[in-house]
């Protein structure tokens, strides 16, 4: 039987598959049978390519998030250090009115720096867990689903980080 689908159609199916679409949805989009899409996938190695792309994306995302986290941590530490210096400056003035405020600033700065350290340790822990899972799990689809779950936990955690300076 003659192949009636163009390379462009197959490329569109491949792109949908690599983006995470199932065979049924992909087939509906391009107007063919899901078994045809499945056959193309096996013949052309789409699952392996999808895994490779996801792995590369995860690596890039980890690099970018590490850079963002490092920048965020540096900003937080700077804010708390400024708070600490203000508190120490107020104490050095030995002004009775500002002593309470100075003590509060120093206390908040110390707690904030501690929270940043805890945040950093928790992020490193998640990264270490991901490394262990990657070395122990050979099923790439399972590994991808676990990585997605960890990414969601990380995003949730990142947006709810305690100890942010006000």
Domain boundaries, the chain: 7-44, 47-159
pLDDT (mean) for 51-67: 74
pLDDT for residue 163 is more than 50: no
Burial, 13: exposed, middle or buried (Cβ in 10 Å; 0-12, 13-18, 19+)?
buried
Burial, 133: exposed, middle or buried (Cβ in 10 Å; 0-12, 13-18, 19+)?
middle
What is the model's pLDDT at position 40?
92
pLDDT band at 147 (very low <50, low <70, confident <90, very high): confident
pLDDT (mean) for 78-84: 74
Percent of the chain topping pLDDT 70: 70
CA distance linking residue 84 with residue 105, whole number of Å: 6
Q: 61 or 91, which is more confident?
A: 61
Alpha-carbon distance values, 113 to 27, 43, 80, 130, 152 (Å): 54, 55, 7, 26, 25
The number of CA neighbours under 13 Å toward the Cβ of 18 is 20
Say how many C-beta atoms besides its own lie within 10 A of residue 80's C-beta.
22
How many degrees, rounded to 5, is the angle at CA 58 between CA 138 and CA 27?
80
CA atoms 69, 120, 53, 20: torsion sign: negative
pLDDT for residue 158 is more than 80: no
User: pLDDT tens, 124-145?
Assistant: 777 777 777 777 777 777 777 7
pLDDT (mean) for 39-53: 87
pLDDT band at 97 (very low <50, low <70, confident <90, very high): low
What is the model's pLDDT at position 166?
39
Q: What is the mean pLDDT of the chain?
A: 75
User: pLDDT tens, 102-116?
Assistant: 667 667 777 777 777
What is the model's pLDDT at position 98?
57
């Amino acid at each position: 039987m003659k192949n009636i689908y163009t390379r462009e159609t197959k490329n569109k199916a491949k792109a949908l598959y690599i983006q995470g679409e199932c065979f049924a949805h992909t087939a509906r989009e391009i107007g063919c049978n899901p078994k045809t899409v499945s056959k193309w996938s096996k013949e052309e190695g789409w699952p392996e390519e999808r895994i490779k792309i996801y792995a590369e994306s995860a690596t890039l995302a980890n690099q970018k998030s590490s850079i963002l986290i490092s920048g965020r941590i540096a900003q937080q530490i700077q804010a708390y250090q400024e708070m600490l210096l203000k508190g120490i400056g107020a104490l050095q003035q030995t002004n009775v009115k500002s002593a309470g405020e100075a003590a509060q600033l120093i206390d908040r700065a110390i707690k904030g720096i501690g929270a940043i350290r805890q945040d950093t340790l928790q992020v490193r822990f998640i990264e270490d867990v991901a490394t262990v899972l990657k070395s122990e799990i050979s099923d790439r689809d399972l590994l991808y689903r676990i990585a997605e779950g960890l990414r969601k936990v990380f995003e949730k955690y990142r947006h709810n980080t305690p100890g942010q300076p006000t």
